[in-house]
Chains A and B, each alone.
Chain A
Amino acid sequence: MIKLLYILKKEFLLIVRDVHAVTILFVMPAVFILIMTLAMKDLFELHSTVVIDILTVNHDAGKRSVALLKAMEEHNTFRFHLIGKDTVTESVKEQMLSRDYKFALVIKKNFSAFVNKKGKGKDENPLELLVNPTVPVQTQLVLKSALDGELSKLRWDAFIGRIDKLLAFAGIDRKDLKADKLSPIDVQYVYKGGQSFKMPSAVQQSVPAWLVFSMFFIVIPISNTFISERDQGTFMRLKSMNVSSSYLILGKMIPYLLINAVQVIFMIAIGVYVVPLCGGTALTIGDSIAGLVLIAFAVSFSAISVALLIASIARTTEQATTIGAVLNIIFGALGGLMVPKFVMPEFMQNLANFSPMSWGLEGFLDIFLRNGGVSDVLPKSLSLLALGLVMLGMTLISLRRQREV
């Protein structure tokens, strides 16, 4: 036990005194969490505070165009910035580019005539939407659909108005035929554990993603100390002291499991306490502490095992850190850590399932977002533990082979 305590003390001192390791394991992911959470806040928040600003010129003198803008603004998603009635389209385009608008809407003179189906220009298109080509197609469709919808409602209501007498004659209440102001579609988000759980947010994607990423970055300090120990002859000294390869592995495994545990607590604390101070929403960690401990342990075990294998087969520290960092970045990108899996095309989502980082991320998301428990994270945890055991076995074989020669 005393022996183990000194091994733990040694590894902790080596880490704490290694500025690069502290930066990689704690500072880098903390900064990533803050930056990515705040940067992707709007993208992730489904009760969105996203507002699309639209430069608008209204050439129509009638009431219908005013009604359109009012109805559109009730969506809480669109904000219309009106400019002078006499502004010509070319000038609107120039202003759109110079003032960095993604959209401009030109309401033509014939708008009210088009809605009312009466007067000059009643058959000509009444709206012109100018779009910056960098705007994603989905966003264009959101605006266009909303305009189409509101325009249809206006035209329907105008039609009802025109057949008012006929309706009265038929005994039909005009109010029953008016277009609904609100959408008749109810949207519900589905979570494990009922509806009491909070909505997912950027912080709930960012914290587990960068936490898993940083936990796998343990390869840098592990290979640094492991290869230094080998090159400086410390391993030879330890072997001559009857310290077995298994003990050496255990001596690395336990301290780094604890370091990973500190990382988990630290990153969660960043999400819960620091992110709200910076304007983001606080991280909610679900109800299953046992599930959280299980998935955290499984990620940690597999990350350390992979790191030990890389460190044991690499010839130099540079080789190990390069292999480790490149593998982390590739598996991180593939596993949905850098780009969320739900925005990936289907084949990429299928590919992501091959990344152990994805197993870890999904496990944390089960706990943080889906209010899952031990049974939900168990399959992912078992996969990670199995991977860790295979890597550990290969490390032991590699170390024993080195001892043979």
Chain B
Amino acid sequence: MIKIEHLYKSYDKKPVLKDVTLAVQRGSIMGLLGPNGAGKTTLISILTGVIRKDSGSITVNGMDLDHEIGAIQSRCSYVPQTLAFYPRLTARENLEYFGALRNLKGKKLKESMEFCIDIGSMQDFLDKRVDKFSGGMKRRLNMAIGLLNDPEILYLDEPTLGVDAQSRNYILKTIQKINCERKMTIIYTSHYMDEIEQVSDEIAIIDEGKIILHGPTQDILTRADALCGHRNLEELFLKLTNIRLRDDN
């Protein structure tokens, strides 16, 4: 279980996260929604130890992030929204490299790679340079690299950004499959409301650095029905976060 309490973070004295308190149940998929600049990526970056928080406390499966970051990081995996691998390497070379950095070697590395190749459906283009891949293939590889260490917690930052409907459907089905089969806790950010509705057990909406709504998906949809007249997450989201345009920052 992930427990966040009174989390604060600011950049150049500009607050980005303000008193965020949130708990994510073990084995659940939590959809994290928010407009541009709401603080989603910052929150995930703090949870994965990429950047440091200003104050507040975070515990992951009972371990304090401040004191046991190494142990937490070895049990987690982060799939950034950018395509975080080496385009001049092949898919196999990328998987080997990131696997080795996860301290995998020999048979264990081979088995992990086979699992990830299967998950990413990459058998046919494994030895092809990644810069020759389609957008969907790249997204699948990006996610597959995140699964190399068989994490207990998987952070997915907009994993379907810029892919076609087929790849998007494949990625969503894969997320549900690994959650179901491996009891993996997944925190998932996206701008696509239908995706969040489809895969999440619980939803948190963040805006201007604050969690403004959090609960099981069905409860949230019921609330949408009450507020908007029908079970539509997007309408609820716009109602809660206001319709004004947000600048990326």
Contact = CB atoms under 8 A, between A and B. Distances in A.
A14 interface: yes
> Which bracket fits the contact residues of A?
20 to 34
B84 interface: yes
A236 B100 contact: no
Contacts of A231: 82
A175 interface: no
Interface string B149-179: 0000001000000000000000000000000
Nearest to B77: A240
Interface in A5-58: 5-7, 9-10, 13-14, 17-18
A237 interface: yes
Interface in B173-187: none
A247 B129 CA distance: 26
B63 interface: no
A239 B100 contact: no
A232 B79 CA distance: 12
A238 B70 CA distance: 12
A17 B88 contact: yes
Secondary structure type dominating chain A contacts:
helix
B89 A234 contact: no
Nearest to A239: B50
The interface centre, meaning the residue of B52, B73, B84 with most chain A CB atoms within 10 A of its CB, is B84
B21 interface: no
Contacts of A2: 100, 105
Interface string B72-90: 0110111111111110110
A6 B101 contact: yes
Interface in A216-253: 231-234, 236-243
Nearest to B100: A6
Contacts, number: 84
A242 B84 contact: no
B181 to A, nearest CB: 23
A242 B70 contact: yes
The interface centre, meaning the residue of A7, A240, A243 with most chain B CB atoms within 10 A of its CB, is A240
Contacts of A3: 100-101, 103
A405 interface: yes
B126 interface: no
B128 to A, nearest CB: 13
Contacts of B27: none
Nearest to B93: A13
A90 interface: no
Contact of A236 (B69, B84, B89): B84
Given A14-B86, A242-B49, A403-B51, A236 B78 contact: yes
A241 B85 contact: no
Contacts of B81: 233
Given A233-B82, A234-B84, A236-B78, A242 B73 contact: yes
A395 to B, nearest CB: 19
B102 interface: yes
B112 to A, nearest CB: 14
Contacts of A94: none
A233 B96 CA distance: 18
A234 B84 CA distance: 4
Contacts of A17: 88-89, 129
A404 interface: yes
A16 B32 CA distance: 41
Contacts of B220: none
A236 B80 CA distance: 8
B78 A242 contact: no
Contact of B82 (A9, A232, A405): A232
Given A10-B97, A13-B93, A232 B85 contact: yes
Contacts of A238: 101
B101 A239 contact: no
Given A3-B103, A6-B100, A233-B83, A13 B88 contact: yes
A5 B79 CA distance: 24
Nearest to B49: A240
A241 B73 CA distance: 6
B121 interface: no
A21 B76 CA distance: 35
B145 interface: yes
Interface in A348-397: none
B74 to A, nearest CB: 7
A240 B73 contact: yes
Nearest to A234: B84
A10 to B, nearest CB: 5
A15 to B, nearest CB: 9
A240 B88 contact: no
Given A232-B84, A405-B11, 15 more contacts: A9-B93, A10-B97, A13-B93, A17-B89, A18-B88, A232-B83, A236-B50, A237-B78, A239-B50, A240-B73, A240-B78, A241-B73, A242-B69, A242-B73, A403-B52
8 contacts: A18-B88, A232-B83, A236-B50, A237-B98, A240-B49, A240-B73, A240-B77, A240-B155
